[in-house]
Structure 1
Amino acid sequence: MKNIDPSRSFNDLPLLPPPAEKVETFLILKQESKKAVALAELKGLARTLPNQGILINDIVLKEAQASSEVENINTTHDKLYQALAAKSMSVGPAIKEVLRYREALLYGFEEIKTKGFLNTNGIARIQAILEENEAGIRQLPGTSLKNDLTGETIYTSLDDK
C-alpha cells in the first residue's frame, strides 16, 4: 500500500465512474437482484400501513442516530422519540444534533422527491440545517482536518502550492 502524507492532498484517486467490469460482477449483480426483491416486498407491505410516513420517519431517525454515533454523539431511541413527541421539552445537545441530522435528511429526501435531483442550493440548505447557520459553501479551496488534542494534521484536501 502506498504511503499517504496527511499534510498533502491525495489526488491519485481513480476517476469516477469506475469501469463497468469492476462493479458489474456476478456477485454484485446477484446481490442487486436480492435487493430488488426485498424492496418490492417492503413496498407491498408498506402499502398496508395506514401512515407510511411512520416507517420513513423511523428509518430516517435510526439513520440519523447511527450516523451521529460515528461522531461520538450518542443518545437512545427512547430519548429521541420523547423529544419528538414533546415539542416543548428541553433536550440536550446530543439529541438536538441527531434531530438536526434527521431534519437535514428529510429535507434532502423531499428535494429529491420533488425535483428529481439535489442541486448546490439544496446541499447548502442541508449544511445550514446541520450547522444551524447560513455560512454557505466555502469560497476558498483547501481544508485541513486536525486532531484537537495533538494538533496533528489528519487530512488535507488541497496542497498549498
Structure 2
Amino acid sequence: MPWKPDAPYNELPLLPPRVDFETRPVLKATTRARAALAAMDEATKRMPNPMVLVNSISLLEAQASSEIENIVTTTDELFRFAQEATDSASAETKETLRYRTALFGGLEAIRKRPLSINTAIEVCTNIHRRDMRVRDLPGTYIGDPNTRSAIYTPPTGESVILRKLDNWVDFVHTTADIDPLVVMAITHYQFEAIHPFADGNGRTGRILNVLQLVEADLLREPILYLSRFIIRNKSAYYRLLLGVTADAAWEEWILFVLRGIEETALQTLSKIDRIQALQNVMRTEIREQTTAGSNADLLDVLFENPYARINDIVRRCGVSRPTATNWLNALEAIGALVDLRVGRERLFINQRFMQILSTDETLPSASADRLF
C-alpha cells in the first residue's frame, strides 16, 4: 500500500533501506564527518578536565533539543537551576533539565547493556518523569499547525510498533560493513517514523543519536549534539525526513545528517581551543588577584559550573566561606566574573566562558542554501 499522510504507515519498510544509500557523495561526506569527529574527540582527550564540556554542552543541548519542541527557556535560568531545580524554576526549565537527566541516564544504561527498546523507553520516561510505554491506541499523527491536516501518520498497533522497533534495534547493532555515522542517520529517521511514544519522540531520538555514537566508540565523551544544527536548518530537517517517507530520498537525508555531524564537530573543536585559551588567562588572573595560588579546583569549578555559588567554592576547594567570598569578589572586581544577585543568593557567572559556549563560528562551506 502506498504511503498516505492521513493513514497509519503500518507498511513503513524495515531496515536496511531497499535503495543504494552508500552512494559516492555519502561515502565522501562520511569521510569528512569521521575526520572532524576524530579531531574533536582527540582534542577532548587532551583536556585536563573534560567535564568542563560535558556539563555545559549537555545543558545547551537540552535547551536546543527542547526548543525544537517549542519548550523554551533562557540560558540564564537553565544554568541558575542546573544543580537544583527549585520551585522558583519555570515549568519549561524543569522539563529542559529533565532532558539532561534522561541523557545521562541513557549513558549509564548503555555502559551496562547494549542500546535497546528498553533504553528508548527509559530515556522517554526520564524526559517526562512518568512511565512511558509504546503507543497502543490509535489517533497519533503529525499535523500542519495552521491547517491541522495530517502531514504524517505513524504506524499504529502495539505489536506493529514493537516489531518495527525490534528491526530498528537490529540495524543499530548491524554487523554489516556500514559506517556507524550512516547507521545513525538511517536509524534516526526510522525511530522518528515509527514514533513509538505518545509524546517525546523527537527528544528521545536525539538522545539516542549520541548514545549510538558513544556505544560505537566514536565519542569518548558525550559532547556532540545536533540540536543546534537542526534549529538552524529546521525546515530542511523536516522536509528531508518527509522526503525519505514519500520518495525514499535516503541520500539527501544522510548527507544532511553527515553535514550536521561535521559542522558540529568542527565548531566544538573550535570551542575546545577557545576554552583552553580562556583557562590559561583565568589561571593567571586567579594567581595574581587571589590567594588561591595554584589551586586547580577553583579554576575547575568556575568552568564546570559557570554559574558558581560561594558554597560551590567552599565545598570543592576546602576553604572557609569568607575565603571563598574574597576569591570570587576579587575576580568579579577585575571583570573575570559577573556578580548576579537573585534574592539573597549571589551567583558568579563566568561570562566569557558562556560566550564561547553559546556562540558557534560560521563555517564557510556550511551554507544551508548550498547544502539543502
Point out the more displaced range, 82-91 or 122-131: 82-91
Unaligned runs of at least 5 residues, structure 2: 158-372
Larger Rg: 2
Q: How does 1:9-158 map to 2 (within 5 A)?
A: 9-19=8-18, 22-85=20-83, 88=86, 90-115=88-113, 117-134=114-131, 136-138=132-134, 140-145=136-141, 154=150, 155=153, 157-158=155-156
Unaligned runs of at least 5 residues, structure 1: none
Q: TM-score, normalised by structure 1?
A: 0.75
Q: Deviations over 1:81-129 (max 9, x none)?
A: 11114655731011111111111112112222332x2233333322221
The change in CA–CA distance for 1:111 and 1:100 in structure 2 (over 3 A counts) is same
Whole-angstrom distance in 2 between the partners of 1:87 and 1:49: 29
After TM superposition, which residue ranges in structure 1, 4 or more long, deviate above 4 angstroms? 85-89
Q: Deviations over 1:30-72 (max 9, x none)?
A: 1111112112211221122222122123332222211211221
Which letter maps to 1:144?
A: T
Provide the identity percentage. 32
The change in CA–CA distance for 1:141 and 1:39 in structure 2 (over 3 A counts) is same
Instruction: Work out whether residues 64 and 102 of structure 1, in 8 Å CA contact, stay in contact via their aligned partners in 2.
Output: yes
Which letter maps to 1:125?
A: E
Whole-angstrom distance in 2 between the partners of 1:32 and 1:125: 30
Instruction: Work out whether residues 136 and 156 of structure 2, in 8 Å CA contact, stay in contact via their aligned partners in 1.
Output: no
Specify which structure has the bigger relative contact order, considering alpha-carbon pairs within 8 angstroms and separated by 6 or more residues: 1
- What is the aligned residue count? 153
Between structures 1 and 2, the one with greater helix share: 2
Instruction: Work out whether residues 135 and 156 of structure 2, in 8 Å CA contact, stay in contact via their aligned partners in 1.
Output: no
Other structure's SS at 1:78 match: helix
Residue 4 of structure 1 is matched in structure 2 by 4
Whole-angstrom distance in 1 between the partners of 2:126 and 2:88: 19
The change in CA–CA distance for 1:86 and 1:97 in structure 2 (over 3 A counts) is closer
